[in-house]
């Protein structure tokens, strides 16, 4: 194309090839498109959960301890991991690969802590008898309405599906970051930044999972405790 | 490789800025946990929680994911279509309210009429 058009910021030049219309590399654009599609996956799951919740009697069984305390500490871990990841990307942009690697390892630590805490939290619920397709006896007794309508057994299905898929994303992210930390000397800055995008996305999804799954299912009136413990 | 030079620009934003964003995110999370123990109608609680979550998501996308410092054309390509697609999923909610009405009658049970006295 003519240099005239380029000088005049004629937009068609951007699409002629040899230029980056969005001023990001093709890999980074690819990661953004993946993030958009994965957001839709999680949105669909969360809206499916809300659909079931609005059309059923829904139990609200989570006690302050362990469920909410664990979930809050897990949220704190993910938020902190995002901060360390930003520091890592920032160091990488200044060409300080060794420092970037240290910050990425800190991110991996927080991510792994999230997974461990989440598995402990799952085991609390599984011990009580929560399964994907039925609820513990005690919960059914406590949350059955005065008209005799029992709470939906799909509570477990939605809980394990959504938190499980999120945990899978965190686990994938930890492996991804381990690879990035290991090969950081060979990678370009943009590749480090792309791994950061994925990690922040995992954090972002939890910002919706935490209030919708945990905060909305708090046993506010201590019904379960009153009925003889959890 | 020359084309890459554009993308290798420095990463905007200072560590101080990122720490302040993190403080905001933690503070909003604490508000959410506090709200869990405040009695209010479920739809009010849901609205507040989703509102706070959208603010948190926007902060993460704008600063941590660096979108605020990208070209406007990238933001306009990614964000509006995502928001529209998510909002389209809300089309299912009227059906969920219809479905609960079909399956359950949340009314007081009708008083049982006394059995007619058998005529001798």
Contact A151, A219 (CB under 8 A): no
Q: Is A14 inside a domain boundary? A: no
Report the pLDDT value the prediction gives residue A125, as an integer from 0 to 100: 95
Q: ipTM for the complex?
A: 0.88
What residue numbers bound the domain in which A168 lies? 25-222
pLDDT tens per residue, range A202-216:
999 999 999 999 999
Q: Is A18 inside a domain boundary? A: no
Report the pLDDT value the prediction gives residue A189, as an integer from 0 to 100: 94
Report the pLDDT value the prediction gives residue B2, as an integer from 0 to 100: 39
Q: Is A229 inside a domain boundary? A: no
Cβ of B7 and A94 within 8 Å?
Answer: no
Cβ of A216 and B45 within 8 Å?
Answer: yes
Residue A218 main-chain phi, psi, to 5 deg = -75, 135
Cβ of A208 and B89 within 8 Å?
Answer: no
Structural domains of chain A, count: 1
- Read off the CATH number of the domain in which A166 is found: 1.20.120.80
Q: Is A4 inside a domain boundary? A: no
Chain A residue numbers touching B103 (CB-CB < 8 A) = 55
Q: Is A143 inside a domain boundary? A: yes
- The pLDDT profile of chain A, 230 residues, written as one tens digit per residue, is 444 445 555 566 666 777 788 888 889 999 999 999 999 999 999 999 999 999 999 999 999 989 999 999 999 999 999 999 999 999 999 999 999 999 999 999 999 999 999 999 999 999 999 999 999 999 999 999 888 889 999 999 999 999 999 999 999 999 999 999 999 999 999 999 999 999 999 999 999 999 999 999 999 888 888 876 55
Chain B residue numbers touching A207 (CB-CB < 8 A) = 25, 53, 56-57, 60
pLDDT tens per residue, range A50-95:
999 999 999 999 999 899 999 999 999 999 999 999 999 999 999 9
Q: Is A207 inside a domain boundary? A: yes
Q: Is A46 inside a domain boundary? A: yes
- The pLDDT profile of chain B, 120 residues, written as one tens digit per residue, is 334 444 445 567 889 999 999 999 999 999 999 999 999 998 999 999 999 999 999 999 999 999 999 999 999 999 999 999 999 999 999 998 888 888 777 655 555 666 666 666
B108: three-class secondary structure by DSSP: coil
Contact A121, A68 (CB under 8 A): no
Where do the domains of chain B lie? 11-71
Describe the crossing of helices A154-182 and A189-209 by its angle, rounded to 10 degrees: 160
Average pLDDT, chain A: 91
d(CA A69, CA A87): 27
Chain B residue numbers touching A15 (CB-CB < 8 A) = none
A184: three-class secondary structure by DSSP: coil
d(CA A217, CA B92): 22
Name the minimum distance, in Å, from the CA of B70 to any CA of chain A.
Answer: 8
Q: Is A108 inside a domain boundary? A: yes
């Amino acid at each position: 194309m003519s240099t005239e058009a380029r000088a005049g910021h004629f937009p068609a030049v951007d699409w002629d090839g040899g230029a980056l219309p969005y001023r990001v590399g093709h890999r980074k654009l690819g990661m953004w498109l993946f993030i958009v599609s994965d957001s839709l996956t999680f949105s669909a799951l969360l809206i499916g959960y809300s659909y079931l919740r609005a059309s059923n009697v829904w139990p609200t069984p989570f006690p302050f301890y362990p469920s909410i305390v664990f979930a809050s500490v897990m949220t704190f871990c993910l938020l902190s991991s995002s901060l360390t990841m930003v520091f890592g990307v920032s160091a990488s942009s200044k060409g300080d690969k060794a420092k970037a690697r240290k910050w990425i390892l800190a991110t991996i630590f927080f991510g792994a802590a999230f997974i461990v805490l989440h598995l402990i939290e799952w085991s609390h619920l599984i011990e009580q008898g929560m399964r994907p397709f039925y609820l513990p006896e005690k919960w059914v007794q406590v949350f059955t309405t005065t008209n005799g309508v029992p709470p939906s057994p799909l509570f477990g299905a939605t809980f394990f599906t959504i938190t499980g898929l999120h945990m899978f994303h965190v686990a994938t992210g930890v492996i991804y970051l381990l690879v990035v930390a290991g090969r950081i000397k060979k990678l370009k800055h943009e590749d480090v930044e792309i791994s950061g995008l994925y990690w922040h996305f995992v954090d972002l999804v939890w910002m919706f999972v935490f209030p919708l799954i945990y905060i909305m299912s708090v046993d506010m009136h201590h019904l379960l405790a009153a009925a003889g413990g959890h | 490789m020359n084309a890459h030079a554009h993308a290798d620009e420095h990463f905007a934003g200072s560590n101080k800025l990122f720490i302040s964003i993190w403080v905001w995110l933690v503070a909003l999370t604490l508000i959410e946990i506090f709200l869990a123990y405040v009695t209010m109608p479920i739809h009010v609680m849901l609205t507040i929680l989703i509102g706070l979550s959208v603010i948190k998501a926007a902060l993460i996308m704008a600063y941590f994911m660096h979108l605020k410092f990208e070209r406007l054309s990238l933001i306009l390509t990614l964000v509006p279509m995502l928001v529209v697609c998510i909002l389209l999923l809300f089309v299912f909610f009227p059906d969920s309210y219809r479905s609960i009405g079909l399956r359950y009658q949340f009314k007081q049970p009708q008083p049982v009429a006394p059995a007619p006295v058998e005529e001798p």
